[in-house]
């Protein structure tokens, strides 16, 4: 189940901008927000951190080329929403002391990340452009795995659907399945229903955490920086 990450790369792919013209000024860093999880410590979120998170997410989802482009306002806003959810979900998993990720699993995720690049040299260039050490990247990937495991545990019931639920869903969406007989499209119906239920459950989990968190925006990211 990868519902949590599904929307961010698509938004970033659309919003990543062409390179700026030579000589264009660029702000190197800026504090853009403060986040306090329920019962947790306050975190400072910088512009450089958002860019780093966005580019790592893009590569993790198979778009290493897009990860090299400048990010405009909508992309930065999407990156912030992503990082906010990651932060709140990680803090909740930490509070509950669940789903720790051992180094072996983190390294396996790192190998998958490296495989997104056509050449080892491209991976090294990515680290250099982002001014990331491999250990820093590993820490982000490790967090992503832990968050995903926690989310999976919260929505596991969504994958268990009764036959009647499938039939009712099919009846309400027959046209979307080409009016084919239920027996022919049952697997597609189940996949669609499970996907929708997972999306709804993820949204509820995140909304609950956001409702109990304190978020202070210092910059209007939607206007770009």
| 187's tokens | 């697997």
pLDDT in tens, 187-219: 999 999 999 999 999 999 999 999 999 999 999
Strands (E), the chain: 31-36, 42-46, 214-217
The pairing of beta strand 42-46 with beta strand 31-36? antiparallel
In a domain, 174, yes or no: no
> In this structure, is residue 140 part of a structural domain?
yes
In a domain, 189, yes or no: no
pLDDT of residue 16 exceeding 60: no
- The label of the residue with tokens 């509820």 reads 204
pTM: 0.82
- Asked if residue 12 is part of any domain, the answer here is yes
Kindly report, residue by residue over 88-127, the tens digit of the pLDDT.
Answer: 999 999 999 999 999 999 999 999 999 999 999 999 999 9
Distance CA 97, CA 39 (A): 15
99: helix, strand or coil: coil
* 35 belongs to a structural domain: yes
Provide the pLDDT confidence category of residue 8 given band limits of 50, 70 and 90.
low
Asked whether residue 206 is domain-assigned, the answer is no
Residue 85 located in a structural domain:
yes
The number of domains in the chain is 1
Q: Is residue 162 part of a domain?
A: no
- The range of the structural domain enclosing residue 45 comes to 7-19+29-157+215-223
Residues whose CB is less than 8 angstroms from the CB of residue 63 and which lie 6 or more positions away in sequence, other chains included: 9, 12, 13
């Amino acid at each position: 189940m990868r519902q949590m990450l599904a929307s961010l790369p698509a938004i970033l792919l659309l919003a990543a901008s062409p390179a700026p013209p030579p000589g264009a000024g660029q702000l190197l860093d800026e504090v853009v927000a403060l986040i306090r999880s329920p019962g947790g410590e306050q975190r400072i979120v910088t512009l450089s951190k958002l860019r780093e998170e966005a580019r790592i997410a893009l590569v993790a989802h198979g778009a290493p080329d897009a990860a090299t482009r400048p990010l405009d306002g909508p992309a930065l806003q999407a990156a912030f929403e992503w990082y906010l959810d990651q932060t709140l979900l990680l803090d909740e998993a930490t509070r509950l002391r669940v789903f720790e990720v051992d180094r072996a699993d983190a390294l396996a995720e790192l190998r998958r990340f490296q495989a997104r690049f056509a050449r080892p040299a491209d991976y090294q260039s990515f680290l250099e452009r982002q001014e990331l050490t491999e250990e820093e990247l590993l820490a982000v990937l490790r967090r992503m795995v832990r968050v995903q495991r926690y989310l999976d545990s919260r929505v596991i019931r969504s994958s268990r659907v009764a036959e009647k639920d499938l039939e009712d869903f099919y009846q309400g969406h027959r046209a979307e399945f080409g009016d084919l007989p239920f027996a022919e499209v049952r697997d597609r119906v189940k996949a669609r229903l499970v996907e929708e239920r997972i999306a709804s459950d993820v949204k509820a989990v995140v909304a609950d955490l956001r409702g109990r968190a304190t978020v202070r925006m210092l910059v209007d990211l939607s206007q770009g920086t």
